[in-house]
Amino acid sequence: MRQFFILLNHLLLPEQEREAKEKWGATSFVNLSDQMWKSIPSGAESVLSYVEKYQQALEEQGKKGDLLLVQGDFGATYALVRFALKRGIVPLYATTARHSREVIENGQVKIERIFSHGRFRKYEETT
């Protein structure tokens, strides 16, 4: 059984859930995201106190080989990626395909941006 932990600022899209199951072997999903993850204060000198509860959840519920999809505040994301790697949990991030189109409405140009799921990638370390 391979758990797929989620720390994002939005819900998992159906195509993301499908890829997690088909490509990454996820058998269950654990959403760790909450309002605190979505609103880590930009004025905070350190994010470590904000990531403790997520580290604790991963420590208690996660096991080697599980997956962690994590994106958000750069410092908090970095801390959790490092934490996951040390415990053998595979940290992932989502890529997106971005499309835009211009539409003329009532003599004005309106730009519409569409984001769609690209794929998941592992956070990689360099030597």
Q: What is the pLDDT along the chain (127 residues), one digit of tens a residue?
A: 999 999 999 889 999 999 999 999 999 999 999 999 999 999 999 999 999 999 999 999 999 999 999 999 999 999 999 999 999 999 999 998 888 888 888 999 999 888 889 999 999 988 8
104 in a structural domain: yes
C-alpha distance from residue 108 to each of 51, 99, 100, 103, 114 (Å): 45, 20, 16, 8, 19
Please tell me the predicted confidence (pLDDT) of residue 114. Answer: 86
Q: Quote the pLDDT of residue 83.
A: 97
Q: What pLDDT is recorded for position 115?
A: 84
127, part of any domain: no
Give me the pLDDT at residue 33, please. Answer: 96
Number of C-beta neighbours around residue 5 at 10 A? 26
Q: Which domain holds residue 70?
A: 3-122
Structural domain contains residue 49: yes
For residue 94, being part of any structural domain is answered with yes
Q: How many domains does the chain have?
A: 1
> What per-residue confidence (pLDDT) applies to 81?
98
Residue 11 lies in a domain: yes
